[in-house]
Amino acid sequence: MNKIIVWLQKNFSNISKGLLVLVSIFLLVQLFPRQPGFDYEYQQARPWLYEDLIAPFSFAILKSSEQIKEERSAVKDAFLPFFSRRREVADEMLESFEAALVQKWSEQYPNGGRRALKERTRDAGVNILLHLYDRGVIFLEDDFRDKPSTYRIRVVEGNVAQSKPLGELYTIQQAFFYVITALERLEDTVDTELLRPLLERSLNHNVFYNEELSERTLEAELSEIPLSRGMVQEGEKIVSKGELISPQTYQILESFKTEYQRQVGDSAMLAWLYFGQVILVSISMLVLLLFLYVFRKDVFSDNRRILLILMSVLLMVFFTSLIIRNNVDYLYLIPVCIVPIIIRAFFDNRLALYIHIITIILIGFLIPRSFEFVFLQFLAGIIAILSMASLRRRSQLFVTVVLIFLTYSAVYFGLSLAHTGSFENLAWLDFLYFAGGAFLTLFAYPLIFLFERMFGMPTDFSLLELADTNNTLLRNLGLQAPGTFQHSLQVANLSEEAIIAIGGNSLLTRTGALYHDIGKMKNPLYFTENQNIGYNPHEEISYKESARIIIDHVIDGIEMARKHRLPEYIIDFIRTHHGTTTARYFYTMQVKENPDSEVEKSDFIYPGPRPFSKETAIVMMADSVEAASRSLGKPDEKAINQLVDNILDTQVQEKQFDHADITFKDITTVKKIFKRMLLNIYHVRVAYPSLG
């Protein structure tokens, strides 16, 4: 049991790495479509590249979406909406009219008037109302008000529907005009003055739009539209090799593909399909891990970095799957170039390109006719990476967005011309999608910020902010310890040149060098570079106490950095820039003045740790060399060369760089750079060989 626990502890990192990859494979496979594949690639107006295709079974020729759309539009255009006639409206209005007439007649003629006139007046009013309500007084909603009089509708009364043009029915305004016209013709035979207001008050709508019946009937008619037109019989030739694919043949091929996928989509086939997808994704992940293991061991050994890479790939594949499942027309809105931009921000150009290739290959499994999409995104990703090759300004991201859009447009334009040979088939809306996809690439910036906080890893964006000498901490260093600030600037310059020469993150190195000595702000006068008034406080204390103050600037710097929330990758430069070296001057003086007593060397040794990366090792070298160069009485070429060699050789002998990924060849290169730069700093003329 103990052996198992020990083994798990020793291999915990690799086990975690394996679990991360397995979980990623599982999640990626879940995003893949469960639709059986189709082994043929084809496009309209392009030749059929395979052998003659014979139908292995009979299938219906499905209509294209455009045809179905046209037929649906035709059905909607020919559809006659339903209006319901309400008979009770006419009965109520006639009853109300007769009651109002009796009352009004008795008021107008108290003695009863002429009976014959009364009867003619009543009959005239009833006949007018019956005519209007028999024809129908229609209430027109907004959708029908602009229709012509010839527009036909169906008027339902009881269980009978009759087709009529709108012109055969009255609107309420037309009904009023009809009343006025009819009374003018009867002016000599009836009491029109009494009858007119009574008729106007008896007018009302009795024909109304029946929305429920209309929609139900329309849906029924639309559902009856056949989705296919004709059949292809088993054994019939679908297309010949080399034959140009016409729109009709293209639709037959699409119908064959749909029926093929339906017939092979049983549970057994889906199980094999799932297994095949697992194999493909697993191989992709294995290739990714092999690349990291061979070329980027630093990334392979860090599970945080692997998790960041896998999350970037997984998020993009997930987003693509989501878009495709909802509407494949929005495919070009997907900001695929976010992935190489994010990877470039945390790593290097080569790794960004490799991860981008893996991502678009995985996405290629999700989309139909993926070659063009993969080709387009491959070129756009390369342009995005090249545009950010040397990131020094945030505005470069906006330039990258413009370049991505131009790349999308140019490649799409070229592919369209190569396929069709004309401009007619260009989908201009796609250029709008390209612009949207390029603009969405700007979301890389907040994602980079989020990942940086999640994984505690440096990016060029954050390093640019930290390296600004106007920020609070560096400005305070310049005010409280001006000598240390100038020393840090020189160390940053030396370190940056050296790391560029041997390969490493120059921006991280420069930023770490700027902050490596911030702990000196606590006791600035105890450090030689800040003593400009001839006063040395070390003269008043013991060598042991002096060593403690000097050594403590590392601890003070770490506390100061954490108080100001500097990231750990910057704090690493503070804690490692002296490694486990000795405060040699104070230790030597303590030994010299106490020859008869044993001096505790641990009191004069920095707590470490030793540098564990190229970047921290370079800053340690530059810090020691720059500080020591200030003590040179006569900084000539020989003295500088000897100084650099002695300091770096001593650090090597003390094994300060054993944990860093740096070689003797790198150290030799660094020596040359330090010597050259110090000669320039001190304006030393190089000694030329004698001509005599």
- 622's enclosing H/E stretch is helix 614-629
pLDDT band at 186 (very low <50, low <70, confident <90, very high): confident
User: What pLDDT, in 10s, does the model give residues 433-491?
Assistant: 889 999 998 888 888 888 888 888 888 778 888 898 888 899 999 999 999 999 999 99
CA–CA–CA angle 26, 30, 22 (5° rounding):
5
User: What pLDDT, in 10s, does the model give residues 538-582?
Assistant: 888 888 898 899 999 999 999 999 999 999 999 999 999 999 998
pLDDT reported for residue 421: 66
Residues 6+ apart with CB under 8 A from 147: 166
Q: What is the dihedral of CA 411, 417, 423, 428, to 10 degrees?
A: -30
pLDDT band at 621 (very low <50, low <70, confident <90, very high): very high
pLDDT band at 688 (very low <50, low <70, confident <90, very high): very low
Question: What mean pLDDT is predicted for residues 35-52?
Answer: 73
Q: Which two tokens stand for residue 595?
A: 């020859």
Q: Which two tokens stand for residue 643?
A: 């100084």
Residues 6+ apart with CB under 8 A from 104: 194, 198
Phi first, then psi, for residue 440 (nearest 5°) are -65, -15
pLDDT band at 250 (very low <50, low <70, confident <90, very high): confident
pLDDT reported for residue 454: 86
- Measured between alpha carbons, how far is 92 from 95 in angstroms, rounded to an integer? 5
Whether the model clears a pTM of 0.85, i.e. scores above it, the answer is no
- Measured between alpha carbons, how far is 184 from 98 in angstroms, rounded to an integer? 21
pLDDT reported for residue 617: 96
The gap between the terminal CA atoms of the chain, to the nearest Å, is 81
Q: By mean pLDDT, which of 69-73, 469-473, 640-644, 686-690 is the weakest? A: 686-690
Question: What mean pLDDT is predicted for residues 7-33?
Answer: 85
Return the higher-pLDDT residue of 663 and 36: 663
Question: What mean pLDDT is predicted for residues 647-657?
Answer: 93
Task: Check residue 327 and give left, alpha or beta (phi > 0: left; psi -120 to 50: alpha).
Answer: beta
Phi first, then psi, for residue 514 (nearest 5°) are -65, -30
Strands (E), 82-216: 82-85, 152-157, 160-165, 207-209
Mean pLDDT, the chain, as a whole number? 87
How many beta carbons lie within 10 A of that of residue 280, not counting itself? 17
In Å, how far are 120, 124, 199 from 107, measured between CA atoms? 18, 20, 17
- Nearest CA to 441 among 341, 359, 510? 341
Q: Is it the case that residue 117 has pLDDT exceeding 80? A: yes
Q: Is it the case that residue 212 has pLDDT exceeding 80? A: yes
pLDDT band at 393 (very low <50, low <70, confident <90, very high): low
Question: What mean pLDDT is predicted for residues 7-25?
Answer: 84
Q: Is it the case that residue 7 has pLDDT exceeding 80? A: no
| DSSP code, position 58 | -
User: What pLDDT, in 10s, does the model give residues 324-363?
Assistant: 888 777 888 899 999 999 998 888 889 999 999 999 999 9
Single-letter amino acid, residue 622 = A
User: What pLDDT, in 10s, does the model give residues 592-619?
Assistant: 888 777 778 888 899 989 999 999 999 9
Q: Which two tokens stand for residue 80?
A: 């006659």
Cross-strand partners of 208: 84
Phi first, then psi, for residue 164 (nearest 5°) are -140, 150
Strands (E), 43-166: 53-54, 59-62, 82-85, 152-157, 160-165
Domains of the chain as residue ranges with CATH: 33-63+226-265 (no CATH), 77-221 (no CATH), 268-455 (no CATH), 460-681 (1.10.3210)
Q: Under DSSP, is residue 231 helix (H, G, I), strand (E, B) or coil?
A: strand
Helices 614-629 and 482-502 sit at what angle, rounded to 10 degrees? 130
Q: Is it the case that residue 686 has pLDDT exceeding 60? A: no
Residues 6+ apart with CB under 8 A from 172: 137, 139, 203, 204, 205
Work out the percent of the chain whose per-residue pLDDT is above 70.
93
Q: Do 580 and 470 meet the contact criterion of CB atoms below 8 Å apart?
A: no
- Measured between alpha carbons, how far is 474 from 326 in angstroms, rounded to an integer? 51
- Measured between alpha carbons, how far is 406 from 411 in angstroms, rounded to an integer? 9
Work out the percent of the chain whose per-residue pLDDT is above 90.
42
